[in-house]
Structures are given as structure tokens and as C-alpha cells.
């Protein structure tokens, strides 16, 4: 437990030391909120779908968590290239503990990012229901843990920073755009509904939106169960590949 705590704390220190990273990471969510939320709002309303900004904000919160968490794997490759990971791996602690510490550290940073974006959305006009806010926070945590573990798992198989970025960009964009973060799934074509059902982020977006705006496509219990199962699976897979890293 001490090793997990130390690694978790180290990841947080890295994040808060980089103020430019903290501020810069809010630029894209703010752009989505303003450009899409207000730009497409009238079109969404004329289509009889209600307030688009209210619909969009949970999706943008999920997007910020996704991007921040899945790119936590870059830190693993960075540490690997500069020898810091070797120092960690030769320590008398299990690699499972190292994997958990890095995952929890990256996930915590991603959740903090999501909270910042949530506050930003409130400032520009988002008006959510607050009764299920703790449950929405739980969904944010689960999204962060799952995708941080995904990023670390992929990073465990690679040594090249550029290769990781290419794979992540190829993976992240479809995950985001097919999650229903930007468009309502109930009016999507059937083939698209089938595709989105296989997107893990779909259940996170749906859960957060259900908690904050009382609109959802799946039961909240289904969203919870799917994410819990996926987290368990990726942690098992990630721990295995992380244990195989050669130093």
C-alpha cells in the first residue's frame, strides 16, 4: 500500500508542478462548449431536441477525462526512456502495486481535470441537477480509471513515444465521437447505435448525463455494471503486460 500511495502522490506532484499543462488542457473543452454548445444550440432546439448546451456539457466533461487519462501512458514511456521506470521496477515491490499506483495517479489527475471542466461549464451556462452529483463523480472516476489503465497497458507494449501517440490518436477519436458525447443516440441510425454499444465511453457519458441532466439511453445500473466489469478486465490485462516490461 505504501508503494501505491507514493506512486500516486508522485503523479499528482508532476501534474500540479506544470501550471501550463493545467491551464492549456482546459482550452479544448472550452472551445467545444462555446463553439458547439452555442453554435449548434439553435439548430438542436429547432429539431425539437431541447437545450444542446445542457446535452453537450456532460459529453465535454467525459472528453476531458478521456484525453487526460489515456495519455497517462506517455509518462510510462517517458520514464522508460530516461531510466526512471527502471529505478521503480527494481524496487522491492510488486509490479502490480506499481501498475495500481500509476493508474490511480493518472486517474486522479483526469478526475481533477473533469472537475475543472465541470466548473468551467457552470460558468458559461450549464445548469445541472445536483441530486445525483456524487454518482456523477463516481462515473467520472470509473472513466478515468479505465482509460488510464488502457493507456498504461498500451504503453507497456511500446518503447517509442511517437508510436504511442499515433495509436492513441487512432483510438481516442473514434472512442469520443462514437460515444454519443456530441449527438443523441436515440435519433441515430440503427447501425450507429450498434457500434456505440461497443464503445466503453458510451456508458460513462450516458451515466454522467443521466446524473446531471436526467437524460439517458441505458439504465444507470447497466452503465455502472459495464464500467465495473471493463475496469476489472483491463486491470487484469494491464497488470499482466506491465509485469512483462523488460528493464
Give tens-digit pLDDT for 151-184.
888 888 877 777 777 777 788 889 999 998 888 8
Query: Residue 216: pLDDT band by 50, 70, 90 thresholds?
Result: confident
User: What b/e readout covers 88-102, taking b as 16+ CB neighbours within 10 angstroms?
Assistant: bbeeebebbbbbbbb
Question: Residue 85 pLDDT more than 90?
Answer: no
The 10 Å Cβ neighbour count of residue 205 is: 29
Distant-in-sequence, close-in-space partners of 245: CB < 8 Å, separation ≥ 6: 80, 85, 89, 95, 156
The whole-number pLDDT of residue 29 equals 86
On average, the pLDDT of the chain sits at 83
The predicted model scores a pTM of: 0.88
Q: How far apart are CA 93 and CA 139, in angstroms?
A: 30
Distant-in-sequence, close-in-space partners of 223: CB < 8 Å, separation ≥ 6: 139, 203, 204, 206, 207, 210, 216
The whole-number pLDDT of residue 138 equals 96
Amino acid at each position: 500500500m505504501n508503494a501505491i500511495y507514493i506512486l500516486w502522490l508522485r503523479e499528482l506532484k508532476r501534474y500540479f508542478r506544470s501550471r501550463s499543462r493545467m491551464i492549456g488542457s482546459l482550452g479544448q473543452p472550452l472551445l467545444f462548449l462555446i463553439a458547439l454548445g452555442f453554435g449548434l444550440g439553435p439548430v438542436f432546439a429547432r429539431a425539437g431536441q431541447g437545450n444542446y448546451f445542457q446535452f453537450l456539457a456532460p459529453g465535454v466533461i467525459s472528453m476531458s477525462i478521456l484525453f487526460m487519462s489515456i495519455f497517462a501512458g506517455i509518462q510510462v514511456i517517458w520514464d522508460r526512456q530516461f531510466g526512471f521506470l527502471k529505478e521503480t521496477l527494481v524496487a522491492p515491490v510488486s509490479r502490480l502495486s506499481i501498475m495500481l499506483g500509476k493508474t490511480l495517479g493518472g486517474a486522479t489527475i483526469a478526475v481533477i481535470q473533469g472537475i475543472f471542466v465541470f466548473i468551467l461549464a457552470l460558468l458559461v451556462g450549464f445548469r445541472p441537477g445536483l441530486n445525483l452529483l456524487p454518482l456523477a463523480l463516481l462515473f467520472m472516476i470509473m472513466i478515468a480509471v479505465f482509460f488510464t489503465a488502457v493507456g498504461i497497458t498500451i504503453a507497456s507494449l511500446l518503447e517509442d513515444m511517437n508510436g504511442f501517440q499515433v495509436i492513441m490518436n487512432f483510438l481516442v477519436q473514434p472512442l469520443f465521437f462514437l460515444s454519443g458525447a456530441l449527438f443523441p443516440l436515440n435519433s441515430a441510425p440503427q447501425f450507429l447505435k450498434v457500434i456505440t454499444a461497443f464503445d466503453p465511453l458510451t456508458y460513462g457519458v450516458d451515466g454522467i448525463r443521466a446524473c446531471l441532466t436526467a437524460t439517458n439511453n441505458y439504465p444507470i445500473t447497466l452503465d455502472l455494471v459495464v464500467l465495473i466489469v471493463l475496469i476489472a478486465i483491463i486491470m487484469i490485462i494491464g497488470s499482466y503486460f506491465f509485469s512483462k516490461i523488460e528493464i
